[in-house]
Amino acid sequence: MQPYATWKYVLLIVVMVLGGLYAAPNLYGEDPAVQIATQSGDALANDFGDVVGKTITEAGAKAKLSVLKNQQWLVSFEDEAAQRLAADALKRAMGNDYVVALTTASKTPEWLRAIGAKPMTLGLDLRGGVHFLLEVDIDDVRKKAVERYLTELPAFLRKNDIRYTGRHQSADAVLLDFADADKLSAAKSALAKEYSELMLTVLPSAPLTLEVKMSVVEAKRIVDFAVKQNLTTLRNRVNQLGVAEPLVQRQGQNRIVVELPGVTDATQVESLLGATATLEYRAVDESDANLAASSGLVPADSELFYTRAGHRPILLKRDIIAAGSQLVDAASTVDENGSPAVSVTLDGSGAKKMFEFTEKNVGKPMAVLFKEREVVTNYNAKGEPMREHRDVQEIISIATIRGVFGKRFQTTGLESKEAHDLAILLRAGALAAPVDIVEVRTVGPSLGADNIRRGFQAAVLGLVLVMLFMVFYYRVFGAFAIAALVLNIVLIIAGMSIMSATLTMPGIAAMVLTMGIAVDANVLIYERIREELRDGQTPHASIEAGYDRAFLTIADANVTVLIGTLVLFAMGAGPIKGFAITLALGILTSQFTSIVGSRSLAHLVFAKRKLKDLPIW
């Protein structure tokens, strides 16, 4: 029997050591921890650690470890009592500009973290939390773009002295009417030069009408842009919630996944994610609003709204003094009477206009208009979902202008929770397009813990059963296969930890399944060795033949399983992706462990012995 090449032993040992090291962090468990980050996402100050340390010590808690991680300060504690004590103290000390969240920190020792080893991420189904799938309303994005062109294009034509006789809007196009063909062609060439993203066509049915549509590329671009803006906004909103390790990620063309580990009350979060609230500051038109409401006659420069409290009609001037987009900061607070309020800071242009307005209008009333767009899904008679928008436009406060102000002021007239939510929404900005929540999955923490326990027990039982069977059937060689199998599991865990892959319940199922599939390679080899022995080959030659001949077959068989998992990975989301990754990784590592691993053992044990038969029967 040829001695097995030294480099293969070396490779095996290196893989074993590395696998062991990178899988190890999963054994250490976790400490309760507190995570502190800036509200704005800015970097933390250099001496931030000292401030945190001081606050914690003053609160009487003892920090175990205090480090900077991904622009966030992470402090771990021995027990949950210390964690809560410190978190409360930090919240009070840091104020509104920082997010303080409860989390957990791995107990992985420093020397392991130094080589980049970290534990696997657990999926929401294993640790509890809420998963949202949001769908960005594409139709609304397109409609808004068409509306914008409907005002922009005529203005452009007027500037260029090209007269049009009418403008209107169809589903996805702006239609411009002209008096004669010359004007139309002049408009067409002028527009084509300025707006290369638009498609200009004259329909044969209406020769004097120019149809303006967005090109396919442009339509796609604006949707893409809106989804990206929504991603940013949602990220801001989620950050405000003070949840540790939130995930906000785009999925497909117009969907966004939001995952919040540890959160169990979806209701509160849901309203915050989907809301598209903004504020407008407007002057009150002091003519008779009741009359306008009953007669329907509203002055040309005013609009009719109702107050949130009491549903009273109020006329507001169309001109907006300041809007939500001019806001730089908003915080919930209490006014001098102790009732909830939102303290607002405006940017330069907003402050200037506010100053000019209040200067001229002291003693007159000013109103705050609250605008929110909700998406409601209803079902028609056929049971098909119908998405409808509901616009909420309410006056939340009317106040008399007491003095001249610009940059900073307060808005009152809200309930405490409203003030809190509104401040978050204003700070995080408005969504570029309405979103619809199409999927919500909440997993309670007890279920997550149960799943881990059950998955672990099933894996252990599976391993023990396979072990007993293999040793009973293949004797010493069965033990080799089991050693390879254990190494395989270690490698799967190490691989997932290195890749930062997420372990889910289906992923655990995949790991258990891999045990069955991985020993298949050994069964194939051992049956072949037995066959060679039956055919009268020497034991050593049989071992060689068994491994050599089975290699390609095993590879072929594994490729087809991989094809299945690749397809799953491509189509799947969340837990199923976890299944596909785990299974694929398990199959790849088994190709190494079942063949190189068990072969090395066979060589190590049998290569130098004189044998009449093999302990494989």
Partner 1 sequence: MRIFAKVPNFNFMAQRKAGLWVSSLLSIGVILMMLLGALHLGRNLNFGIDFTGGVLVEVVYPQNIELDSVRNDLKAGGYHNPIVQYFGGTREVLIRLAPEEKENSSAISASVLQALGAEQKGVQLRRIEFVGPQVGDELTVNGSLAMVFAFIGIALYIMFRFEWKFAVGAIAALVHDALMVVGFLWIFQVEFDLTTLAAILALIGYSNNETIVIFDRVRENLINQRKGTIYDIVNLSVNQTLLRSIITHVTTLLVCTALFLLGGPSVHSFSISMIVGVIVATYSSIYVSTGLAVALGVSREDLLPPETKEIDETP
- Span 325-384, contacts to partner 1 by CB under 8 A: 376-379, 383-384
Q: Which residues contact 101 (CB under 8 A, 6 or more apart)?
A: 34, 35, 36, 37, 242, 243, 244
How many chain residues bind partner 1 (CB under 8 A)? 83
Q: How far is the CB of 585 from partner 1 (least distance, A)?
A: 14
Distance of CA 81 to the CA centre of its chain: 30
Contact with partner 1 (CB under 8 A) among 534, 608, 609, 612: 534
Q: Which residues contact 85 (CB under 8 A, 6 or more apart)?
A: 59, 60, 61
User: Looking at 112-120, 308-316, 453-461, 597-605, which segment touches partner 1 (CB under 8 A)?
Assistant: 453-461
Q: Where in 206-265 is the site for partner 1 (CB under 8 A)?
A: 264
User: Looking at 64-72, 114-122, 316-324, 556-564, which segment touches partner 1 (CB under 8 A)?
Assistant: 556-564
User: Looking at 149-157, 215-223, 492-500, 525-533, which segment touches partner 1 (CB under 8 A)?
Assistant: 525-533
Contact with partner 1 (CB under 8 A) among 505, 585, 601, 602: 505
Q: Where in 461-490 is the site for partner 1 (CB under 8 A)?
A: 461-462, 465-466, 469-470, 472-473
541 binds partner 1 (CB under 8 A): no
Complete DSSP assignment for 462-526:
HHHHHHHHHHHHHHHHHHHHHHHHHHHHHHHHHHHHHTTPEE-HHHHHHHHHHHHHHHHHHHHHH
Shorter beta-carbon distance to partner 1: residue 200 or 257: 257
Q: Which two tokens stand for residue 577?
A: 């992706």
Cβ contact 39:99 at 8 Å: yes
- Rounded Cα distance between 457 and 569, Å, is 26
Contact with partner 1 (CB under 8 A) among 51, 112, 298, 440: 440
Residue from 411, 40, 52, 44 nearest 240 by CA:
40
Shorter beta-carbon distance to partner 1: residue 351 or 513: 513
User: Looking at 200-208, 298-306, 310-318, 555-563, which segment touches partner 1 (CB under 8 A)?
Assistant: 555-563
* Helix or strand run (H / E) with residue 290: helix 289-295
Shorter beta-carbon distance to partner 1: residue 218 or 527: 527
Shorter beta-carbon distance to partner 1: residue 19 or 575: 575
275 binds partner 1 (CB under 8 A): no
Residue 2 DSSP symbol: P
Q: Where in 126-145 is the site for partner 1 (CB under 8 A)?
A: 133, 135
Q: How far is the CB of 492 from partner 1 (least distance, A)?
A: 14
What separation, in Å, do the N-terminal and C-terminal C-alpha atoms of the chain show? Answer: 20
Contact with partner 1 (CB under 8 A) among 19, 324, 506, 539: 506
Residue from 97, 98, 104 nearest 129 by CA:
104
Q: Where in 174-193 is the site for partner 1 (CB under 8 A)?
A: none
Q: Which two tokens stand for residue 567?
A: 């397809």
579 binds partner 1 (CB under 8 A): yes
User: Looking at 36-44, 391-399, 427-435, 565-573, which segment touches partner 1 (CB under 8 A)?
Assistant: 565-573
Distance of CA 244 to the CA centre of its chain: 13
Cβ contact 414:400 at 8 Å: no
Shorter beta-carbon distance to partner 1: residue 129 or 413: 129
Residue 25 DSSP symbol: G
Contact with partner 1 (CB under 8 A) among 312, 365, 520, 538: 520
Shorter beta-carbon distance to partner 1: residue 310 or 383: 383
Cβ contact 125:446 at 8 Å: no
Shorter beta-carbon distance to partner 1: residue 165 or 553: 553
524 binds partner 1 (CB under 8 A): yes
The sign of the CA dihedral 223, 227, 232, 237 is positive
Shorter beta-carbon distance to partner 1: residue 528 or 603: 528
Q: Catalogue the long-range contacts made by 261-264 (C-beta closer than 8 Å, 24 or more residues apart).
A: 261/124, 261/127, 261/128, 261/129, 262/102, 262/103, 262/127, 262/128, 262/129, 262/445, 263/129, 263/130, 264/128, 264/129, 264/130, 264/442, 264/444, 264/445
* Helix or strand run (H / E) with residue 18: helix 6-23
Q: How far is the CB of 508 from partner 1 (least distance, A)?
A: 8
Shorter beta-carbon distance to partner 1: residue 346 or 545: 545
3 binds partner 1 (CB under 8 A): no
Q: How far is the CB of 538 from partner 1 (least distance, A)?
A: 18
Q: How far is the CB of 385 from partner 1 (least distance, A)?
A: 5
Q: How far is the CB of 250 from partner 1 (least distance, A)?
A: 16
Shorter beta-carbon distance to partner 1: residue 75 or 583: 583
Q: How far is the CB of 232 from partner 1 (least distance, A)?
A: 24
Shorter beta-carbon distance to partner 1: residue 6 or 560: 560
Q: How far is the CB of 376 from partner 1 (least distance, A)?
A: 7
Q: How far is the CB of 475 from partner 1 (least distance, A)?
A: 8
Cβ contact 320:282 at 8 Å: yes
Rg (CA), the chain: 34
Contact with partner 1 (CB under 8 A) among 96, 229, 271, 538: 271
563 binds partner 1 (CB under 8 A): yes
Write down the residue that tokens 């991603």 correspond to. Answer: 231
Count of CB atoms within 10 A of residue 99's CB?
A: 21
Q: How far is the CB of 473 from partner 1 (least distance, A)?
A: 5
Residue from 247, 218, 173, 257 nearest 435 by CA:
257
Count of CB atoms within 10 A of residue 553's CB?
A: 13
- Rounded Cα distance between 342 and 416, Å, is 10
Q: Where in 405-434 is the site for partner 1 (CB under 8 A)?
A: none
Shorter beta-carbon distance to partner 1: residue 1 or 524: 524
Q: How far is the CB of 64 from partner 1 (least distance, A)?
A: 32
Contact with partner 1 (CB under 8 A) among 153, 437, 595, 596: 437
Complete DSSP assignment for 201-266:
EE-TT-TTEEEEEE-HHHHHHHHHHHHHHHHHHHHHHHHHTT-SS-EEEEETTTEEEEEEET---H
